[in-house]
Structure 1
Amino acid sequence: MSSDAELLEASREDAGAFRELYERYALRVQGYHRRRTRSDDAAHDLTAETFAQAWLGRARFRDEAGGSAGPWLFGIARHVLLASVRRGQLERIACERLGLFDRLDCRPAAVEPQTAWLEDLDEDLDRALADLPAGQRDAIRLRVVDDLAYEQVAAALDTTPQAARVRVHRGLGALRTKLNHSTEASR
């Protein structure tokens, strides 16, 4: 069985490889969106957008979680959710200001994005991060959240770039395990 990283690499030439990755993660990503939105319709739409963004960005995937695309996909899912809420608010405000709600293109969607979807968005991640050893937690924040190069992470942590890579790798692996258990428990 191919790793997620291998499937993403192969998907550059073979769409079937991406389909296999989709089949591995679609239900989990959809469950994530359903828990946030409490709407099957919104969850389906957001899941489709998540995988569309993953397809478009598949060449930029960096294997930092030991072959797993889970953290990467859930990062995209989080971004899609945030963008959906923000976009919905901006579109609604613009239509209100312009008095265009009677036009077909400004009618509210069947499922309106709501800021309530964002409540406790990072709670599971924060809890999982808090359980990590400080060195791994700091390395992940610097590398993933602050998007620093490994050389910069190493300098900030007063270690070598190789040690910084190891901390990030181990931390992401531990996060993946904790978040997978959290996702399975909430089903």
Structure 2
Amino acid sequence: MSVSESTALRYRQSDPDVRLMLRVKNDDAAAYEELLRKYHPRLVRLLRAMGPRADMAEDLAQETFMRVWRARVRYEPGAKFSTWLFTIAANVARNATRSQGRRQEVNEVDAPTGGDGSRAVGIVTATALEASSLMPTRVVEGAERGDIVLNAVKTLGERQRTALMLSRFENLSYAEIAETMGLSTKAVKSLLSRARVNLRELLQPYIEAGLIPKTGDDHE
């Protein structure tokens, strides 16, 4: 889709990463390296939750940046660079999830009965209760708390998980998330509302066990 000159000018003026990507478009390897250094850690964190497996995040981040390089000639600044990059990352994660799902279909025959959601909630709940018996009064901190939340996020559906990660961890606006996911702003608001409700339910056993503190709702 073509981008109007006024839109391109607006993003060139407002987003320094767009200006870097325009240098990449002209085969500037140093600009590409700068974007890679800046966004690689964020992409890995994002893809740990968006991809089919956390241990694939590094490979998926590399695939995302390979696509950025291959797409450089066609690049037009029609959005913030981060929005454009996360759109590519979401597509990479979606393709990997589908591919992984096809490879695992045969294993589903031996899986316990019940829907995926109920199994996921059961796993999270059991982990919380087991942990609470080991450390009933300690509130976990830092990386431990992050892992608990990340594991809970990964049990959400793909679209809820992606919307929540983009909102909570990348601070994208509703409009930016909508552009990244190819949805309407109204659909994004609905996804985030359901994701937050589901996440609170998943984390409730940890809160009741005293492993993580109770917090208020996310700000809009």
TM-score, length basis structure 1: 0.49
TM-score, length basis structure 2: 0.43
Tell me which structure has the larger Cα radius of gyration: 2
